[in-house]
Amino acid sequence: MTAWVDRRTAAEERVLDAAGELFAERGVDAVAMGEIATAAGCSRATLYRYFPDRTALQRAFVQREAVRVGALVAADTAGSGSVTDAVLSALRHVRAAPTLATWFRAGDAGRTAGLAHESEVVAALGLTVVPDQDAAQWLVRVIVSLLTVPGGDEADERRLVERFVVPVLKGGGDARRSR
């Protein structure tokens, strides 16, 4: 039984890797399931056994990558506890990976925004920075926003995060307090 589970995991990873490469080349919504199966070296039936539809495959890809980026951010900011450094680290890691950067192009950003609000993505990214679920969800939205509509440069994004994001998180995240 264990060998089968290991093969299945390897097959799923192969499919997600192939999907990521195709997404980077052509955009998320431009890639068909049959193309992913071919690129992964499996049949469409095998692909659909692991991922029943395109949305499930996209969700699995985003979740896997969010966990990976979350681990990189945690390693980058170990001991510092700096929200600013964590946000900027997440932005750098996503932008450096062509398979992730494509998710924030104009045509694909809407789908990404929807997938980014799911609990697994929030847990993988946001909760590595702040322990509160609501604050983590909001922080992921800020990161997605900066990826979709970037600041001028890293210094500009640092200034925005320090001025607008950090005070809200330090203040408990409740905007009603400041009214």
Q: One digit per residue, pLDDT tens: the chain, 179 residues? A: 344 344 558 999 999 999 999 999 998 989 999 999 999 999 999 999 999 999 999 989 988 888 889 889 989 998 887 999 999 999 999 999 999 998 888 776 777 777 776 656 666 666 677 778 788 888 888 888 899 889 899 999 999 999 999 999 888 655 444 33
Domains and CATH numbers, the chain: 2-174 (1.10.357.10)
Q: What is the pTM of this model?
A: 0.83
> Residue 167 corresponds to which tokens in the numbers above?
């005070």
Residues near 139 by Cβ (< 8 Å), separated by ≥ 6? 83, 87, 125, 126, 129, 130, 165, 169
Residues in the chain, overall count:
179
Q: Give the separation between CA 177 and CA 174, rounded to whole angstroms.
A: 6
Look at the alpha carbons of 173, 129, 156, 92 in this order and tell me if their dihedral is positive or negative: negative
Contacts of 58 by beta carbon, 8 Å cutoff, 6+ apart: 19, 28, 111, 115
User: What's residue 127's pLDDT?
Assistant: 66
Instruction: State the residue for tokens 């951010």.
Output: 73
